[in-house]
Amino acid sequence: MSDIDGYFGESVAAMYDESAAAMFTAEALEPVVDLLAELAGQGRALELGVGTGRVALPLAARGVEVHGIELSAAMAERLRAKPGGEAVGVTIGDFSTTRVPGSFSVAYLVFNTIMNLTTQDAQVDCFRNVADHLEPGGTFVVEVMVPQLRKLPPGQNAVPFHVGDGRLGFDTYDTATQAMASHHVSVEDGRGTFRSIPFRYVWPAELDLMARLAGMRLRDRWADWKRAPFTGDSESHVSVWEKPAD
């Protein structure tokens, strides 16, 4: 079993939609699908890390032909079992290198998924892979957090992102290597469980350079899917790179 399939294997896939319920609401999804449908136009869309179909299914329901790449077979099975799942093609594989037939007018990575690639080389390979899939004039969209290093006082390497009854979540950072991990502690009926997932955090300017290495250029960058301005205080960004039409 691959590492990512292990991190997002059957036990995680079974509870993934429930654990990320806020991301499945119409309020959260409509701006995402609006932008991607606009960029897709009459063309096809490629989702890298398609998961259980949170974005792919409503995008396909808009009439966009969607194909997904997903390393976790367990997550892909959840997608296929949902209403409309048969409309989304899925290829099992590493989205930094896996090729699928045809070309696409838009490719996208949402919800910090670019950070599942835990080396800079793999992230660079991902941009090159996307560029190879895009038709001339096509776009690549990435939604990802801005590393929260400003929250780290000297000598500290952890930032909590959830503290509540029965659940604790915190991120750890290695500023020398850009290695990062999200740690999840849950307590139910007096019994605790712990899960840790590795990531590699990446800066906006670093992503722009990866895009240039793949022959793409930054077209837009916003703080969120509603296209709010991106500033030095933004905690995430939605960036759009374009493959030259010529």
CATH number at residue 71: 3.40.50.150
Instruction: Express each pLDDT in 29-48 by its tens digit.
Output: 999 999 999 999 999 999 99
Domain span at 110: 3-146+202-242
Could you tell me if 96 and 190 lie in one domain?
Answer: no
CA-nearest of 57, 70, 64, 60 to 39 is 64
152 by DSSP, 3-state: which?
Answer: coil
Per-residue pLDDT, 12:
77
Number of domains in the chain: 2
What's this model's pTM, rounded to 2 decimal places? 0.92
CA distances 37 to 70, 79, 98, 115, 209, Å, are 21, 20, 23, 24, 26
Verify that 156 and 238 share a domain, yes or no. Answer: no
The residues of the chain scoring below 70 in pLDDT are 1-6, 17
